[in-house]
Homo-oligomer: A and B are copies of this chain.
Amino acid sequence: MADEKIPYSLNSKAVSQATRAWLHTRGVKIEEIAELVLLLQQKYYPSLTLEECIHNVEMVLTKREVQNAVLTGIQMDLLAEEGKLLPPLQDMIEHDESLYGVDEILAFSIVNVYGSIGFTNYGYIDKLKPGVLERLNDKGTGKVNTFLDDIVGAIAAAASSRIAHRKQAERERDLGLPHEPEDSEETSRRLHAEKLKTK
């Protein structure tokens, strides 16, 4: 038969949908992550709405780097919950061992996507464990959320950074200051056109 071996080709939509589906299966709603964002950001932007926070969380979740971390972390939690990891890794993840920091490392790769300004928000929320994080961190349920609680906090921190960048852009526009959007194909086309003109 011809198609015996179809070469592997990634389907980014499948990765994206799996990310949302796995979060849902593990009991995390986008709205709950958005509530963390609102908690972190409303003192800086009093008019910030939950709807805006939801939008920003959704944008964060479209990033491949974020999807990779979410899927890998939830997979580890699932396997630990089913007792399918080898000792001593099984014990470390099952007990959320204090010297095991791979969960923080994955979380950090999420925060990093929107830059270093999110570091502080991540640490703060991960320590206080408000809202959904408190539930995820409850050790008496038989569930293992060693990776997931850090990942959810990181998504909230990344969305907060995204908001900070957008709000600055809005402020500049409101003040009539010259503004330069980040990594936008439109900007690029304009810059290119300007350059041609000056040649």
Write the residues of chain A forming the contact surface with B, with a CB cutoff of 8 angstroms.
8-18, 22, 55, 58-60, 62-65, 68-69, 71-72, 75-76, 78-79, 84-89, 91-92, 95, 97-102, 104-109, 112-113, 115-117, 119-128, 164-165, 168-169, 171-172, 175, 177-185, 187-188, 191-192
Contact = CB atoms under 8 A, between A and B. Distances in A.
B175 A91 contact: no
Contacts of A127: 120-121, 123-124
A75 B79 CA distance: 11
A24 to B, nearest CB: 13
A18 B87 contact: yes
Nearest to A15: B88
Contacts of A18: 86-89
B68 A101 contact: yes
A62 B183 contact: yes
A72 B101 contact: no
Contact of A188 (B15, B59, B72, B116): B59
Contact of A101 (B115, B126, B171): B115
A66 to B, nearest CB: 9
Given A71-B88, A85-B75, A120-B127, A164 B98 contact: yes
A122 to B, nearest CB: 5
A65 B178 contact: no
